[in-house]
Amino acid sequence: MSIFFECVNCSKKHSLKTAICGCGQKFIPQGAIYWIEVRDNAGRKIKRKLGTVGLSVARRAEAELKVMATTEANVNNLHWSDLVARFCSKLEAEGRTHRYCLDSYRYLTEMGDFWGKNRKIDTITPILFQEFRVSLLNRNFSKNTCDRYHAAAKACWKYTVEDKPCPFSKTPLFRPDEGNIVFLNTEKTDLMLRAAKNINETFFQMLVVALATGLRKMNVVHLKREDVDFKEGAIFVIQKRGRKHVVRLASSVIEMLENIPDNGTPYFWINHATGQPFQDFPRKKWAKIKRIAGIDKNFRFHGIRHTSAAKIYQVTGDIKAVQEILGHTSFSTSSKYIHVFTDHFKAIAEKMDPLCNIAK
Which residues does 164 contact at the CB level (< 8 Å), separation at least 6?
Answer: 75, 121, 122
**27 pLDDT more than 80:** no
**293 pLDDT more than 70:** yes
The pLDDT of residue 221: 92
Position with higher pLDDT, 113 vs 160: 113
End-to-end CA distance of the chain: 74
The pLDDT of residue 348: 63
Q: How far is CA 229 from CA 9, 59, 84, 167, 212, in A?
A: 18, 33, 37, 45, 15
Identify which of 219, 142, 144 has the alpha carbon closest to the alpha carbon of residue 177.
144
The pLDDT of residue 10: 79
The pLDDT of residue 43: 72
Average pLDDT over residues 311-332: 79
The pLDDT of residue 265: 92
Which residues does 134 contact at the CB level (< 8 Å), separation at least 6?
Answer: none
Strands 2-6, 234-238: pairing is unpaired
- List, for residues 171-223, the tens digit of each pLDDT value: 888 876 655 668 888 899 999 999 999 999 999 999 999 999 999 898 899 99
The pLDDT of residue 170: 85
Buried/exposed code over 136-161 (b: 16+ C-beta within 10 A; e: otherwise): beeeeeeeeebbebbebbbbbbebbb
Question: Among residues of the chain, what percentage have pLDDT more than 70?
Answer: 84
The pLDDT of residue 13: 86
**pTM of the predicted model, to two decimals?**
0.61
The pLDDT of residue 183: 85
The pLDDT of residue 358: 65
Whether the Cβ atoms of residue 238 and residue 53 lie closer than 8 Å to each other: no
Residue 94 CB coordination number (10 Å): 21
Domains of the chain plus CATH, in order, are 1-70 (no CATH), 72-176 (1.10.150.130), 186-347 (1.10.443.10)
- List, for residues 54-99, the tens digit of each pLDDT value: 777 778 777 777 766 665 545 667 889 988 988 887 777 666 667 7
The pLDDT of residue 153: 94
Give the Cα-Cα-Cα angle 284, 290, 291 (nearest 5 degrees): 85
Phi first, then psi: what are they for 129, rounded to 5°? -70, -35
Buried/exposed code over 325-356 (b: 16+ C-beta within 10 A; e: otherwise): bbbbeeeeebebbeebbeeeeeeeeeeeeeee
Average pLDDT over residues 37-42: 76
For the chain, the three-class secondary structure string (H helix, E strand, C coil) is CEEEEECCCCCCEEECCCCECCCCCECCCCCCEEEEEEECCCCCEEEEEEEECCHHHHHHHHHHHHHHHHCHHHHHCCEHHHHHHHHHHHHHHCCCCHHHHHHHHHHHHHHHHHHCCCCEHHHCCHHHHHHHHHHHHHCCCCHHHHHHHHHHHHHHHHHHHCCCCCCCCCCCCCCCCCCCCCCCCHHHHHHHHHHHHHHCHHHHHHHHHHHHHCCCHHHHHCCEHHHEECCCCEEEEECHHHCEEEEECCHHHHHHHHCCCCCCCCECCCECCCCECCCCCCHHHHHHHHHHHCCCCCCCCHHHHHHHHHHHHHHHCCHHHHHHHHCCCCHHHHHHHHHCCHHHHHHHHHHCCCCCCCCC
Identify which of 38, 62, 68, 63 has the alpha carbon closest to the alpha carbon of residue 50.
62
**273 pLDDT more than 80:** yes
**331 pLDDT more than 90:** no
Average pLDDT over residues 296-325: 85
Rounded CA-CA distance 162/185 in Å is 42
The pLDDT of residue 68: 65
**279 pLDDT more than 80:** yes
- List, for residues 147-174, the tens digit of each pLDDT value: 999 999 998 988 777 667 889 988 888 8
Average pLDDT over residues 131-154: 91
The pLDDT of residue 229: 92
The pLDDT of residue 327: 79
Confidence tier at 291 by pLDDT (50, 70, 90) = very high
Question: Among residues of the chain, what percentage have pLDDT more than 90?
Answer: 31
Average pLDDT, the chain: 83
